[in-house]
Amino acid sequence: MSVADTMQQQADEFRARYQAVKDQISRVIVGHDEILHGVLTCLFVGGHVLLEGVPGLGKTLLVRSLAQALDLQFNRIQFTPDLMPADILGTNMVIETGDGRRTFEFQKGPLFTQICLADEINRATPKTQSALLETMQEGTITVAGQQFHVEQPFFVMATQNPIEQEGTYPLPEAQIDRFFFKLVVGYSGRDELTTIVDRTTSGENPTPEKVMEAEEILRWQQLIRTVILAKHVQDYIVRLTLATHPGGEFGLPITQQYLRWGSSPRGAQTLALAAKARALLDGRFNVSFEDVRRVFLPAMRHRVILNFEAQAEGIDPDQVLLELLEKVPEKTPDLPMATVAAK
């Protein structure tokens, strides 16, 4: 079998396995296809996701169903203003041994899991937020000078409520940047809401079946990183990222008018990885311009900061980003199309 045939076989297998997971979760979750797609993309590239939406839209049910379909450990943490880092990380407890002696024993907190739902993360103090976000970035938990590694895969889905801002602690820009995607959960449509009411009021209680294990997820995470990213597509990703920088060489008029800060290099890294996952789902082992465009909004909307003028005019980040996507050209004459990047 040739290298091209092997790649195609791997792409087809990933697409089939991805669809199997999605089908199981869809037995429980009605609608929200794009949200489910975004959450699964984050999981399969080893990232974390921030969901913004009003309460009651099924965010908790989504992550619990995901854990069941993947046979992974799941914990939910309800963030509140009085939640302390020790409440999520764990603490040393004094215990009495069989011979009457007292000793310290570490009691693990709810963050020692594989899938964690951080509900209303913006209600906790910055100190507690930092404890979670450090674990997201490093994959380790440090308590009293002792370091623990969390079990892989480790996936955090954090939620925040856009309505109730009283008594909240908005995530600092440097911390929100650690989330791979920010997904906005909207209301269900008429048909979807009818199905939800039928299911939840008639005694019907579908549950997802286990279709994948941790080892397979880690294998797919490695495969996605081997998808080929051609130089001209990589350059498009770089120019899209630089277009968000006000005062920069590639900044557009709308950038100067409405943005205070642009994306960090993590934005470009996110675009590349997410586009690789989309390409593989489309049965290809190379990234196209369309793959990049499809992941641009969830990858960038939390990485740009609006200025006062944009806020006063009611402009949201998506409006600015959509115009950038329309105005930034796919190709530039100074880069040959045939050049191919390293994986």
In which element (H, E) is residue 65 found? helix 59-70
Walk me through the domains of the chain, giving residue ranges and CATH numbers. Answer: 3-218 (3.40.50.300), 227-327 (1.10.8.80)
Residue 114 to residue 155: CA distance in whole angstroms = 6
Residue 155 to residue 257: CA distance in whole angstroms = 36
For residue 14, give the amino acid letter.
F
pLDDT digits (tens, 9 = 90+) for 153-185: 999 999 887 766 666 788 877 778 899 999 998
> Once rounded to an integer, what is the mean pLDDT over residues 231-245?
95
Helix, strand, coil percentages in the chain from 3-state DSSP, rounded to 5: 45, 15, 35
- pLDDT at position 341 is 41
pLDDT digits (tens, 9 = 90+) for 182-201: 999 888 788 888 888 887 78
Q: Beginning with the edge strand found earlier in the chain, give each strand of the sheet holding 115-119 in spatial order.
A: 74-78, 115-119, 155-160, 49-52, 181-184
- pLDDT at position 181 is 95
Residue 237 to residue 217: CA distance in whole angstroms = 26
Q: What are the beta bridge partners of residue 102? A: 96
pLDDT digits (tens, 9 = 90+) for 111-138: 999 999 999 888 888 888 888 887 888 8
